[in-house]
Amino acid sequence: MELTNIATVREILSRHGFSFSKGLGQNFIINPGICPEIAENGNAQPGWGILEIGTGIGVLTKELALRADKVSAVEIDTRLLPVLEETLAGFDNIKIYNEDVMKADLRGIIERDFAGLHAAVCANLPYYITSPVLMLLLESRLPIESITVMVQKEAAQRLCAKVGTRDAGAITVGVNYYGTARQLFGVSRGSFMPAPNVDSAVIRIDINKEPRLAPDEEEFFFRVVKAGFSQRRKTVANALSSLLGADKEKVYQVLRELGLPETSRIEALDMQQLTELSAGLMKLMK
Ligand code: SAM
């Protein structure tokens, strides 16, 4: 069954009485070039299990299952289950979990379904929860090696920006803390049904094998990053002293030790400088 053929997709969906939910970010891929490209760039290959988030009618699920040993997918919309039974009939390496990705036991799914396999995430993410899903996947330190996802073009730019440049935000630091992100290719809005109002891009995050910091240092680092970026136009000293309760003089002292001007703003610091700033402050505040 050709799941990128518009007439076929319309026929299946209308037969099942399915109407698209904007609230659930339902824009299904109808450009035949995209899903094979995501699968091939996303580690869908022998010896791997792939976790998919949001199946839609299974257009990407199918391409993943053709290449990887196993595919487990979490889909919140119960109305899609009978559709998937039809579109994915014949595959014996796909498991669908009818759950909310934010509440599902993703670790349990990966450990159970992908025992003995490498694991990765591939998805055309529902855009309304792009950042929460990515942070959930990263922060929960799931046993996955990469995350290859379609996101809005602007989100892709932010996620893949260099830390220390204007395009970077707290989420950029978060992603760079846990791994390395890069943009793979752009996707125009016409590649989806229905077409969204924005273009998209596919990014891949390769996840670090070892954590950069010890747990207490990590917790403090993210407090600094959140406090700093919530007032990113202020100087580091102003943003951190009000939000973290850090004495401004202490912040100046750490900045001086790092060879940075007292007027530094958080958005201008690179990953190394942010880590050192956090470590220096943590020592002084103890
Ligand atoms: N993978 C399909 C494709 O590319 O055509 C569908 C992608 S569509 C952008 C996002 C999918 O995620 C929809 O099927 C939607 O129902 C599902 N979804 C939305 N919110 C979800 C959630 N919280 N948990 C799991 N799935 C969700």
Supply the residue whose CA is at minimum distance from atom 14 of ligand 1.
Answer: 56
Judge whether residue 286 has pLDDT over 80: no
User: In sequence order, which residues have a C-beta less than 8 Å from that of residue 263 and are 6 or more positions away?
Assistant: 235
- Which overall architecture, per CATH, does domain 6-207 show? 3-Layer(aba) Sandwich (3.40)
| Per-residue confidence band for 75, with pLDDT thresholds at 50, 70 and 90 | very high
Q: Which atom of ligand 1 is nearest to the CA of 77?
A: 16
| 8 Å CB contact between 14 and 193 | no
pLDDT digits (tens, 9 = 90+) for 131-151: 999 999 999 999 999 999 999
Query: Which CATH number among 3.10.105.10, 1.10.8.100, 3.40.630.40, 2.60.40.10 corresponds to the domain 215-285?
Result: 1.10.8.100
Residues of the chain with CATH 3.40.50.150: 6-207
- Ligand 1 atom at minimal distance to the Cα of residue 126: 10
Q: What is the pLDDT of residues 163-184, one digit of tens each?
A: 999 999 999 999 999 999 999 9
The single residue listed with the structure tokens 């950029």 is 172
What is the pLDDT confidence band of residue 233, given thresholds at 50, 70 and 90? confident
- Long-range Cβ contacts of 252-261 (<8 Å, 24+ apart): 253/284, 254/280, 254/281, 254/284
What is the Cα–Cα distance from 285 to 32, expressed in whole angstroms?
55
CA 80 – CA 82 distance, rounded (Å): 6
Token pair for 267? 């958005």
Q: Taking the model in full, what pTM does it have?
A: 0.95
Q: Is the CB of 280 under 6 A from ligand 1?
A: no
